[in-house]
Chains A and B, each alone.
Chain A
Amino acid sequence: MQITIKIQRYNPDIDDAPHYQEYSVEIDPNARLLDALMDIKRFQDGSLGFRKSCAHGVCGSDAMRINGQDGLACKTLVKDVAVNDGDTVVVEPLRYLPVQRDLIVDQSEFFAKYKAIKPYLINDEEVAEKERIQSPEERLVFDDSTNCILCASCYSACPVSEEHPSFIGPAAIAQAFRFLADSRDKGAEERLLVLDAEDGVWPCQNHFKCTQACPRSILITKRINQTKRMIKDWKGEK
């Protein structure tokens, strides 16, 4: 089918402000939106800037806003965003992160917030067995949160960040939960101090936009609420 892709462009070397540029692409409706972007880059305009790598939804490079929805260009099929010949698909960079070039954003702040919750197993005890024992049921508690590919789709989708830019964001909290809920982890106190703060879990108002945006089907809002409950329990205990 023939579609128009309307892309927000910005090149710091030559542009004062972002602007939109339209490209016409002949593409199979079953193709990925990323295939359409690659078609433009290879055969129409080599200057178009975007990140990509795995092209099947596991590396998190090509998160962007597609018709106003945050997601991965490689996990979005053309037919999901364009129904008829001649339809236009609007593609923009993720929100709340500085645009560096076209669809490329600076993810430093996103990663800084992720690192703040100490995203690694904290447990200094000697391992008695060869592996630490964990039952399938204990593992299942945090299973979906280990799906996270740090693509920042949820970060861009969260309406709270509009009003509260220093909010730590959904991904960081979901990753904190991943360790807090792991029976092997001993770092609860260190992490909860970061999360029980003005920019921690509390700004979340259950908009569920993060859960809807997540290309890895993580129940992010639910994990945030479980984390809030952990904080309340932990404070109750103290």
Chain B
Amino acid sequence: MIHQFDTIIVGSGGAGLYAALEASRKSKTAVLSKLYPVRSHTGAAQGGISAALGNVEEDKPEWHAFDTVKGGDYLVDQQAANILAEEAVQAVYDLENRGLPFNRTPEGRIDQRRFGGHTRNFGEGPVRRACYAADRTGHMILQTLYQQCIKNEVSFFDEFQVVDLILNDTVCKGLVVVELATGELHIFAAKAVLFATGGFGRIFKITSNAYANTGDGPAVCARRGIPLEDMEFYQFHPTGIMGLGILISEAVRGEGGILRNRDGERFMERYSPTLLDLAPRDIVARSIQTEVFEGKGIRGDRKIDDYVHLDATHLGADVLAAKLPDITGFCKTYLGINPADKPIPVLPTAHYAMGGIPTDTDGRVLLDRDGTVVEGLYAAGECACVSVHGANRLGTNSLLDLVVFGRRAGLHIADYVKQAAVPAVDESASAESQAFISRLTDGAEGPHGGYITDEMQTTMMEKIGIYRNKKDMAAAVEEIKELRERYVTVRVQDTTKQFNTDLLELIELGNLLDLSLITAESALKRQESRGAHSRRDYPERDDDNWLKHTLAYLEGNEVRLDFKEVDTSIWEPKPRSY
């Protein structure tokens, strides 16, 4: 079946919905999502969205932009960071005007709190920049945007899984997708396609990410010859619930929570004398891992799954109830403890992809180091790499990224489709996808995906984790290649058509394997330590050789790397200390 639209948005999280709101004003738009609306992982974001409103103390967008650049260890494209910080202010007001229930100051203005790496006057000390709705800010953004989509009658195709991108040279023509309800393939021909498919934390064993975070957009692009940028930079959030990886917001530390080792010591005093527990995430995650490896974890056995304590007991039950109610609930549900009484056992959890589909600041997808645009193809949100996060994203900047660049992409699309030609697409566009799905469902003997998923996640966690070295990474590349070979023989156990979630999970596994390979290869090649990419064998940042973005092209079972310049037009890269 061929559907014809001006604009197709893939993904119904923050970026997708914001883009849909803008694009649907002026073009025939549909949102395709593999989940029901409001199930997207934007809803799991907790702590806040930063904007230099200055509601509780002096603040400036320029300071915010600088913090973003420094936080990203100077791999951030600086003009893009400027746009992010400047448009943040109006973006937050827009969300409030559309009904988002932010917490308030006594004067009734949007309240703001501290978050890691956000500082006043270029690093002097922490600043209150994060606007928040208790500890469910992402949930409220997702709800507010979905509510606006209902109001504006945006069309949704729920539970449609993207399988392929239809490209003709450097022009996007549409998508091939499978409908969960029927198992049928559909072709969506469109002048413009936006990927807003979110992250891919499910390549790792311990992650804060949802099951749905399988990087479908980046994987589909990679298989169609589009490079993925800076994939070696993957953020481990310092505080996930021990064992489960469920996110414990940085807002706990923003409100005054303290990390402690087995001696009760506030160890961040040694690693980050100025910002302490509110240092950027890469630094805090490494500090925790170092404490654990030195035997100062709570168990003290130096094993990778040892943990530290996040102490919020001094905040009091009232502050926890008013500002961190969900966190309190998670601790009670999954740990059986009340954080008002006992410290929270935490360890780093795979959380956020700084890298992704390369785009310009209007969300247009770029094909190479020269900035060649793929006409009609857009990406926004975590699946994209603008790059505003560089080598390490600051907390609260992801929600901001969704809103600012989702909106910008939607506006650009609305303009673009006015002059773009209606794409000519016929049924043959789905032939490869049909062959792929027929192979998975042909009933032949083959392994199921469960064990492959397990092995992939273990390999990535152990060998492409917080601290990396050549030997482990090279081994990871080989192991992932071997898993990809096994993947070619997998088969579904469920050969029926309607609501075949078995088939969906195999499609997702294929995407995760491709992204694992690209991530591991990109990490192996970068011979320096920068932001979230920390190598034992190359412990220093090396601006002479590596102040550049990686562009990784998936070519069969190999990954070819190219590089492109970083925009450092505002601030000269300096050593990073906090």
The answer to the question of A217 belonging to the interface, with a C-beta cut-off of 8 Å to chain B, is yes
The answer to the question of A159 belonging to the interface, with a C-beta cut-off of 8 Å to chain B, is no
**Distance, CA A217 to CA B326, complexed state (A):** 10
Provide the residues of chain B in CB contact with A47, threshold 8 Å. Answer: 493-494, 496, 502
The listed residue (B36, B136, B498, B502) touching A13 by CB distance below 8 A is B498
CB–CB A59/B39 < 8 A: yes
Bin chain A's interface residue count.
Answer: 35 or more
Q: Chain A residue with minimal CB distance to B41?
A: A54
Provide the residues of chain A in CB contact with B560, threshold 8 Å. Answer: none
Q: Chain A residue with minimal CB distance to B336?
A: A30
CB–CB A149/B93 < 8 A: no
CB–CB A13/B140 < 8 A: no
CB–CB B333/A59 < 8 A: no
CB–CB B493/A46 < 8 A: yes
Provide the residues of chain A in CB contact with B210, threshold 8 Å. Answer: 53-55, 59
**Distance, CA A72 to CA B147, complexed state (A):** 23
- Known A-B contacts A75-B333, A100-B181, A146-B143; A46 and B502 likewise in contact (beta carbons under 8 Å): yes
**Distance, CA A75 to CA B453, complexed state (A):** 23
Taking the closest CB of chain A, its distance from the CB of B294, in whole angstroms, is 28
**Distance, CA A65 to CA B543, complexed state (A):** 57
The answer to the question of A49 belonging to the interface, with a C-beta cut-off of 8 Å to chain B, is yes
**Distance, CA A12 to CA B53, complexed state (A):** 54
Indicate with 1 or 0, residue by residue over B178-203, a CB within 8 angstroms of chain A CB atoms.
00010000000000000000000000
Q: Chain B residue with minimal CB distance to A121?
A: B99
Interface hits, A133-155 → B, CB 8 Å: 133-136, 138-139, 142-143, 146-150
CB–CB B108/A134 < 8 A: yes
The answer to the question of B104 belonging to the interface, with a C-beta cut-off of 8 Å to chain A, is yes
Most chain B CB within a 10 A radius of its CB, from A12, A14, A131, A148: A131
Q: Chain B residue with minimal CB distance to A137?
A: B104
The answer to the question of A42 belonging to the interface, with a C-beta cut-off of 8 Å to chain B, is yes
The answer to the question of B151 belonging to the interface, with a C-beta cut-off of 8 Å to chain A, is yes
CB–CB A146/B333 < 8 A: no
Taking the closest CB of chain B, its distance from the CB of A131, in whole angstroms, is 4
The answer to the question of A95 belonging to the interface, with a C-beta cut-off of 8 Å to chain B, is no
The answer to the question of A17 belonging to the interface, with a C-beta cut-off of 8 Å to chain B, is no
Provide the residues of chain B in CB contact with A94, threshold 8 Å. Answer: none
The answer to the question of B423 belonging to the interface, with a C-beta cut-off of 8 Å to chain A, is no
The answer to the question of B7 belonging to the interface, with a C-beta cut-off of 8 Å to chain A, is no
The listed residue (B101, B454, B497, B501) touching A139 by CB distance below 8 A is B101
**Distance, CA A149 to CA B210, complexed state (A):** 15
The answer to the question of B246 belonging to the interface, with a C-beta cut-off of 8 Å to chain A, is yes
The answer to the question of A191 belonging to the interface, with a C-beta cut-off of 8 Å to chain B, is no
Indicate with 1 or 0, residue by residue over A112-144, a CB within 8 angstroms of chain B CB atoms.
000100111100000100111111101100110
Q: Chain A residue with minimal CB distance to B212?
A: A53
Interface hits, B389-426 → A, CB 8 Å: none
| Total residues of chain B contacting the partner, CB 8 A | 65
The answer to the question of A184 belonging to the interface, with a C-beta cut-off of 8 Å to chain B, is yes
The answer to the question of A156 belonging to the interface, with a C-beta cut-off of 8 Å to chain B, is no
CB–CB A101/B211 < 8 A: no
CB–CB B43/A45 < 8 A: no
Provide the residues of chain A in CB contact with B498, threshold 8 Å. Answer: 11-13, 100-101
Q: Chain B residue with minimal CB distance to A130?
A: B93
Provide the residues of chain B in CB contact with A121, threshold 8 Å. Answer: 98-99, 147
The answer to the question of B103 belonging to the interface, with a C-beta cut-off of 8 Å to chain A, is yes
**Distance, CA A51 to CA B493, complexed state (A):** 18
CB–CB A134/B104 < 8 A: yes
CB–CB B38/A149 < 8 A: yes
CB–CB A58/B326 < 8 A: yes
Provide the residues of chain B in CB contact with A61, threshold 8 Å. Answer: 35-36, 39
CB–CB B109/A58 < 8 A: no
CB–CB A120/B44 < 8 A: no
CB–CB A58/B97 < 8 A: no
CB–CB B496/A56 < 8 A: no
The listed residue (A50, A56, A115, A179) touching B150 by CB distance below 8 A is A115
Taking the closest CB of chain B, its distance from the CB of A167, in whole angstroms, is 21
The listed residue (B133, B147, B211) touching A119 by CB distance below 8 A is B147
The answer to the question of A107 belonging to the interface, with a C-beta cut-off of 8 Å to chain B, is yes
Provide the residues of chain B in CB contact with A52, threshold 8 Å. Answer: 211
CB–CB B97/A132 < 8 A: yes
The answer to the question of B436 belonging to the interface, with a C-beta cut-off of 8 Å to chain A, is no
CB–CB B39/A60 < 8 A: yes
- Known A-B contacts A42-B453, A45-B493, A47-B502; A182 and B101 likewise in contact (beta carbons under 8 Å): yes
CB–CB B44/A135 < 8 A: no
Taking the closest CB of chain B, its distance from the CB of A207, in whole angstroms, is 24
Indicate with 1 or 0, residue by residue over B497-513, a CB within 8 angstroms of chain A CB atoms.
11111100100000000
**Distance, CA A6 to CA B211, complexed state (A):** 23
The answer to the question of B139 belonging to the interface, with a C-beta cut-off of 8 Å to chain A, is yes
Interface hits, A155-191 → B, CB 8 Å: 179, 182, 184-185
Taking the closest CB of chain B, its distance from the CB of A140, in whole angstroms, is 9
Provide the residues of chain A in CB contact with B496, threshold 8 Å. Answer: 11, 13-14, 47
Indicate with 1 or 0, residue by residue over A29-70, a CB within 8 angstroms of chain B CB atoms.
010100000000111011101111111111111000000000
CB–CB A133/B44 < 8 A: no
Q: Chain B residue with minimal CB distance to A140?
A: B322
The answer to the question of A7 belonging to the interface, with a C-beta cut-off of 8 Å to chain B, is no
* B interface residues, Cβ below 8 angstroms from A: 35-41, 43-44, 53, 92-93, 96-99, 101-110, 133-134, 136, 139-140, 143, 147-148, 150-151, 181, 210-212, 244, 246-247, 326, 329-330, 333-334, 448-451, 453-454, 492-494, 496-502, 505
Besides the contacts A32-B334, A104-B501, A182-B101, what 9 more A-B pairs have beta carbons closer than 8 Å?
A11-B498, A41-B450, A57-B333, A59-B38, A59-B41, A111-B37, A120-B148, A136-B108, A149-B139
- 14 A-B residue pairings within 8 Å (CB atoms): A13-B496, A41-B501, A43-B448, A58-B43, A61-B36, A120-B148, A120-B151, A127-B93, A127-B97, A131-B102, A135-B108, A136-B103, A143-B134, A182-B99
Name the 4 nearest CB pairs between A and B, nearest first.
Answer: A121-B99, A42-B450, A46-B493, A101-B499
